Structure 1
Amino acid sequence: MGGLKAALTALICAGALFAPVTAETASAAPERPERPERPVLTKPVARSSTVVFAGRTRARAVVRLQERRHASWATVAQRRATKKGTFKIVLARPATARTYRVKAAGRVSHKRAVAPAVVPTPERAPVDACGSRPQRAEGGYYACSFYDEFDGDALDRSRWMVQQTSFSGMYGGSKGCYVDNERTVRVSGGLLRLTSTILPTEFLCRSPYGSFTTNAEVSTVATRSKFTQTYGRFEARLKMPAESGIAGSHSAFWLYPQDQAYGRWPGSGEVDIAEWFSGLPANVYPSVHYAGENTQLSSGYSCRMPTASTAFHNYAVEWTPKIMRFYYDGRLCYSHRWTPTGMTGAQPFDKPFYLVLTQVWGLGWNTRTDKMPDTSTLVVDWVKAWS
């Protein structure tokens, strides 16, 4: 009996080992982990300055955007997917063609190429007789109305007149006699040179308002009655006299009214585009003069130009019916809106003005000292105007 029982027990155990797998037994078996699906990176949307990367992956998975760099991939951005498994990443558009992919839950997407940003070609300014046409602050471009590059061997008298005390009665600085000769006005090598000179002996300076003796010659040229203009851009390339830091020399590029429509100076206005004093050489001063001006506001005291005497610089004004803007080497350094006494609108700056270049001896605090040489020269490379 005991032997039979042992045999039956062995048979039952063997049957259990070889029993068929049922649904119940199968559910009890351990599950093999499923491999996550590969994340999907849709075609990137390239805009002018950005690229949008979007796609889907497992819910709440960390998504790493990677960029191909040589033989490896570098993560450039990281986001977490939404509960629905979607994601969006925005990057600056690359300057060169690049390849990207995303990595999430240990798997990577297919690769996507992104084209570089298209850099627009800068618009070239139109060109006319003056060269490149400057752009107006209000839009559009100026058109050339006057230019002189002093290419000959003499001053072009069809463009310029030379100031003479014997004709106008005007004198410059400290009893400086305006004369027209080779010492005061000279053109050579593409440059105009205006020179003030102290002569070794005095001479009679003739004037319709009373002649006087002096040993000082000074120089001014102007486009009076030859070229005048109301509004526009006026510019000259100048090198101030070499006598920097010694009181006595005074140079200017300026505009003056053709007619005294609003009365004597300053009623009819004056625009000093670039005024330089050798006693204060680090600055060049723009000014707008008119009746009732506030002199603390009508001049630009912060237009520095430390190399005015050693290098050529461009000095310009843009004159509109409401404002004067002064540019030195293309940089706006001063602007002014005028409010003259007893006038309205653009007055007195609504009439034609002409161009003036002046080199004289100084006055007041900038009076010539014994250290100042006997000559001082303003050098002009070119003068241009646009309307």
Structure 2
Amino acid sequence: MKLNGLSLISVLFILVSGIACNSEKEKEGENSQDGYKLVWADEFDYEGLPDSSKWSYDTKGNEWGWGNNEEQYYTSRRMANSEVKDGKLVITAIKENYKDHKFTSARLITKGKGDWLYGKVEVCAKLPEGRGLWPAIWMLPTGKEYGGWPASGEIDIMENVGYMPDTILATAHTQAYNHKINTQRGDTIVVPTCYDQYHLYQLEWEPDQYRVFVDGKHVFTFENEGTGYKEWPFDKPFHLLLNVAVGGSWGGAKGIDYSIFPRSMEVDYVRVYQKK
């Protein structure tokens, strides 16, 4: 979940505007245009805590600061930080003293409840704005057959750090390509309305490559070089993560604006498709 040095990647200055999310489900859960079928979704058409049959809470890193020295405490089943209301999932970062931390937030995962090998992932979301925030839509391996991070891979569909306003990053992490050794692969797109409007963050994942889009506009392609897991560990099931981090080695690189809180990422829907 980190990208060092924009000089390492090709920056796409593409203006994206308007609400591109389709709030209506595809007929009978199928996308007849390219042969994909809806296999998992949360439309957030209920109220209260996120559906426990689809989402769990990742809190394992609270005691040691997670992998990027973030400052939030990720809570579990606490509606102040993760609540479904008005047809949206709302993940909120709050400035408060909580278990020796200065901030709380939530990190929701589908692990064990939604794990997929290849397919399409679509997340319609509106992002929180402010220096020190670090919202993300991303995927991690469920089984870690190739070992711990980054050997088993990481797919970052959407990341935004508050001190880079309007900039959406899509990044791949593998043993051969990762930010620890400054070899990560990725691209960016400028979305001026990412904080004001809902946009569609999309992944198309196939055996030979995966592609990331925003509102259907291509951002990044990561190719399978055919040389083994060190370059391409993306042949195992992955699960989805949604979170709003605060601070950290990347998100907090230019400090945190304490006056902005609370701030929320709102998710209209999550849909996962696979080939018939």
- Which range, TM-score by smaller chain? 0.7 to 0.9
Task: Report 1:1-387 matches (<5 A).
Answer: 127-129=27-29, 133=31, 135=33, 140-154=34-48, 155-165=50-60, 171=66, 174-180=70-76, 181-199=78-96, 202-204=97-99, 213-241=100-128, 243=129, 246-293=130-177, 298-301=185-188, 303-339=189-225, 343=228, 347-364=232-249, 366-367=251-252, 368-370=255-257, 372-387=259-274
Unpaired runs of at least 5, structure 2: 1-25
The 1:345/1:127 distance shift into structure 2, 3 A limit, reads: farther
Deviation at 1:168, TM superposition (A): 8.9
Name the CA distance, whole Å, in 1 between partners of 2:257 and 2:229: 47
Deviation at 1:363, TM superposition (A): 2.2
Q: What is the one-letter code of the residue matched to 1:142?
A: Y
- Percent identical: 26
Do 1:322 and 1:346's aligned partners in 2 also have CA atoms closer than 8 Å?
no
Name the CA distance, whole Å, in 1 between partners of 2:101 and 2:171: 30
Name the CA distance, whole Å, in 2 between partners of 1:166 and 1:280: 26
- Tell me the number of residue pairs that the alignment of Structure 1 and Structure 2 aligns: 241
The 1:177/1:256 distance shift into structure 2, 3 A limit, reads: same
Residue 128 of structure 1: SS of its match in structure 2? helix
Q: What is the one-letter code of the residue matched to 2:93?
A: S
Residue 195 of structure 1: SS of its match in structure 2? strand
Map Cα deviations across residues 75-98 of structure 1 (whole Å, 9 max, x no partner).
Answer: xxxxxxxxxxxxxxxxxxxxxxxx
Do 1:183 and 1:195's aligned partners in 2 also have CA atoms closer than 8 Å?
yes
| Higher-RCO chain (CA-CA 8 Å, sequence separation at least 6) | 2
| Larger Rg belongs to | 1
Name the CA distance, whole Å, in 2 between partners of 1:144 and 1:128: 8
Do 1:281 and 1:308's aligned partners in 2 also have CA atoms closer than 8 Å?
no
Name the CA distance, whole Å, in 2 between partners of 1:228 and 1:179: 22
| Structure 1 range deviating more: 289-298 or 177-186 | 289-298
Q: What is the one-letter code of the residue matched to 2:265?
A: L
Q: What is the one-letter code of the residue matched to 1:293?
A: Y
Name the CA distance, whole Å, in 1 between partners of 2:98 and 2:92: 17
The 1:166/1:270 distance shift into structure 2, 3 A limit, reads: closer
Residue 182 of structure 1: SS of its match in structure 2? coil
Q: What is the one-letter code of the residue matched to 1:311?
A: Q
Map Cα deviations across residues 154-203 of structure 1 (whole Å, 9 max, x no partner).
Answer: 2110011122248997747533211121111011010000011110xx33
Do 2:211 and 2:222's aligned partners in 1 also have CA atoms closer than 8 Å?
yes
Do 2:170 and 2:219's aligned partners in 1 also have CA atoms closer than 8 Å?
no
Unpaired runs of at least 5, structure 1: 1-125, 205-212
Give the TM-score of the pair, scaled to structure 1. 0.58
Name the CA distance, whole Å, in 2 between partners of 1:316 and 1:298: 17
Do 2:121 and 2:273's aligned partners in 1 also have CA atoms closer than 8 Å?
yes
Deviation at 1:297, TM superposition (A): 6.2
Computed over aligned residues only, the root mean square deviation of the Cα atoms, in angstroms, reads 2.5
Name the CA distance, whole Å, in 2 between partners of 1:278 and 1:382: 23
Do 1:247 and 1:372's aligned partners in 2 also have CA atoms closer than 8 Å?
no
Name the CA distance, whole Å, in 2 between partners of 1:360 and 1:366: 8
